[in-house]
Amino acid sequence: MRIPLLMALSLCILSIATDIYIYFDLRRNFPRRPIVALTYGIFAVICWIFIAVCMLMPRRDSDSGILFQMWGIYSYLSILIPKTLFCLFSLIGQIPGLWKSKGVRLGLFAGLPVACLVFISMWWGAAVTRRQIEVVDVDVDVVSPRVPDAFDGYRIAQISDLHTGTWGDDTSFIQTLVDSVNALKPDVIFFTGDIVNRQSSELAPFLRTLSRLEAPDGVYSILGNHDYGDYVDWPSEADKRENLQLLKNWERQIGWHMLNNERTQLIRGNDTIQLIGVENWGEPPFYQYGHLIDAYPLSRDSVYNLNDNRFKILLTHNPEHWRREVTRISNIDLSLAGHTHAMQTVFRLGPWKWSPSALRYEQWGGLYEKQNPDGETLKIYVNIGAGEVGMPFRIGATPEITILTLRKKEI
């Protein structure tokens, strides 16, 4: 986990500015009790030292963990963000003082309650919401004669973005997740990438637990951007390749079927579904590993091609792949993705919901559809993941297990 220099400098400037403002605000409001401002000043210095330690370690070498840094930075931000909000309200309250004798104590009466609410929300998201598994049950009505009769009512369980390294050696959440998936009794289980944060060794404590995932048609997986080891400065390319191979070997050992730009078939009696899995289809700054055409030919001269009359399901980590390529060159009926996490924050009001990830991804969470150039309706479901990366919190964005039931509809 590396903190970019510009972000680090911005945090330092913001932290110093807010602490200076609050220090002098306390001196102004408590002129006869200088101990109040002094106590705050000491507290601020301790926080500066703490965040300096967190941001300087660990480095990106392959032996460094990230738990201390992750929780340390989150703890600091849970203080800095509320303080910044308090200062903003306080400054707004000073505006009337530009033409009146004095301003409004907006910081005390509005800024302080808002700051406390944000602080509580952040730690509720870290202590409670990140463990509150939600099962999302979706009927996927595929308006196409391509759906085989034997697969009408077929139940798919999708999980994504476990980021097991965020839990260290604590397997309790993953155990609960596995038990929850198995209790739903799906026909097949799909995992759509990012099983670790930085390196394959993070997966070791969870192998036995994840091996308990079971479904009649098995467990299929793909790689996400975090699974390749791209966020570690490896001693050599050979070490990096060995890290990735270890991940592949372990998933094979626990009984998962990984699809790396490959295809296979799900079989029910005489009926089949074409299952395609691509490696991570990266967008800057992520690397580009996914190649859909390698997994399933594009040429219409081939018996199997991306626009043939077979019902197809695609596993692709990044939903941008669906928007930018899949809907433009294929008739793949259903795609499943993850990656966005909904930025681990979702605001809800009745049926309405919004996430900051909507500012970057058109398809950030849930079921979407779009027509391809031939006028056929293609669908994608974006799972918002079960784990966290960077910061150990989920605010409104509960860890998700998706159950998708295929429903055949005739045109």
Residues 373 and 266 in one domain: yes
Residues 123 and 137 in one domain: no
Is residue 364 pLDDT above 90, yes or no? yes
Query: What's the pLDDT at 58?
Result: 55
Is residue 33 pLDDT above 60, yes or no? yes
- 285 preceded by a cis bond (ω within 30 of 0): yes
Query: What's the pLDDT at 62?
Result: 43
287 — pLDDT class (breaks 50, 70, 90): confident
Q: What is the value of pTM for the model shown?
A: 0.91
Residues 123 and 144 in one domain: no
Query: What's the pLDDT at 103?
Result: 62
Question: What percentage of the chain carries pLDDT values higher than 90?
Answer: 68
Q: What residues contact residue 260 under an 8 Å CB cut-off, 6+ apart?
A: 222, 223, 248, 277, 279
Query: What's the pLDDT at 1?
Result: 44
Q: How far apart are CA 329 and CA 327, in angstroms?
A: 6
Question: What percentage of the chain carries pLDDT values higher than 70?
Answer: 93
Q: How far apart are CA 209 and CA 194, in angstroms?
A: 17
Query: What's the pLDDT at 63?
Result: 41
Structural domain including 297 reads 133-409
Residues 320 and 272 in one domain: yes
Query: What's the pLDDT at 401?
Result: 98
Query: What's the pLDDT at 31?
Result: 81
Condensed to tens digits (0 to 9), the pLDDT of residues 305-359 reads 999 999 999 999 999 999 999 999 999 999 999 999 999 999 999 889 999 999 9
Residues 108 and 146 in one domain: no
Residue ending a domain, choose from 127, 150, 172: 127
Q: How far apart are CA 267 and CA 181, in angstroms?
A: 21
Residue ending a domain, choose from 87, 107, 127: 127
The stretch 144-156 carries a mean pLDDT of 89
Residues 318 and 182 in one domain: yes
Condensed to tens digits (0 to 9), the pLDDT of residues 54-107 reads 766 655 444 445 788 889 889 989 999 999 999 998 888 877 766 666 666 776
Number of structural domains the chain divides into: 2
The stretch 137-150 carries a mean pLDDT of 83
Is residue 2 pLDDT above 60, yes or no? no
Q: Are 71 and 78 in contact (CB under 8 A)?
A: no
The stretch 378-395 carries a mean pLDDT of 95
- The mean predicted confidence, pLDDT, of the chain is 90
Query: What's the pLDDT at 410?
Result: 66
Residue ending a domain, choose from 67, 94, 127: 127
Residues 121 and 146 in one domain: no
Q: What residues contact residue 338 under an 8 Å CB cut-off, 6+ apart?
A: 160, 161, 192, 193, 194, 224, 317, 382, 383, 384, 385
For tokens 């019902």, what's the residue? 311
Residues 84 and 186 in one domain: no
Q: Could you tell me the sign of the dihedral formed by the alpha carbons of 25, 28, 34, 36, in that order?
A: negative
265 versus 12: which is more confidently predicted?
Answer: 265
Query: Which of 43-47, 189-193, 360-364 has the lowest average pLDDT?
Result: 43-47
Residues 388 and 254 in one domain: yes
Using alpha carbons only, how large is the chain's radius of gyration in Å?
A: 25
Residues 184 and 199 in one domain: yes
Residues 35 and 112 in one domain: yes
Q: How far apart are CA 341 and CA 335, in angstroms?
A: 17
Residues 158 and 266 in one domain: yes
Q: What CATH number is given to the structural domain containing 196?
A: 3.60.21
